[in-house]
Amino acid sequence: MAVVTKPGTRLRSVTCTTEVVIVRGSSEPTDLRCGGQPMVDVAAENPQRSDVAAPFDGGSLVGKRYVNDDESIEVLCTKAGAGALSIGDVALTVKGAKPLPASD
């Protein structure tokens, strides 16, 4: 099940307590997952619950931004959980901080 990853969209996991907001994305449907299962809109009522599947059990950290390899999709984790974020079977990575300019 794919979701639209338009900036500002809020999603939650069906496997754990993880919630995210899309920072950068597209209006095209994307297979965004948490814990190996597709994420759902935060307003969805009673989605079918599932268990976190290995190898997507690494967890997600609140306040961290996660990106795919080409950084075309960026999500901000607003609530931590036991499931790891991925697009399909490809795990998202924590976006590193930009280095500050040197001051002399």
For 67-84, write each residue's pLDDT tens digit. Answer: 998 888 999 999 999 999
Residues with Cβ within 8 Å of 102's Cβ and at least 6 positions away in sequence, in order, are: none
For 17-39, write each residue's pLDDT tens digit. Answer: 999 999 998 778 889 999 989 99
Give the largest Cα separation in the chain, rounded. Answer: 56
pTM metric for this prediction:
0.85
Q: Where are the domains of the chain?
A: 3-94
Burial class (CB in 10 A: 0-12, 13-18, 19+), 70: exposed
Interatomic CA distance for residues 104 and 4, integer angstroms: 45
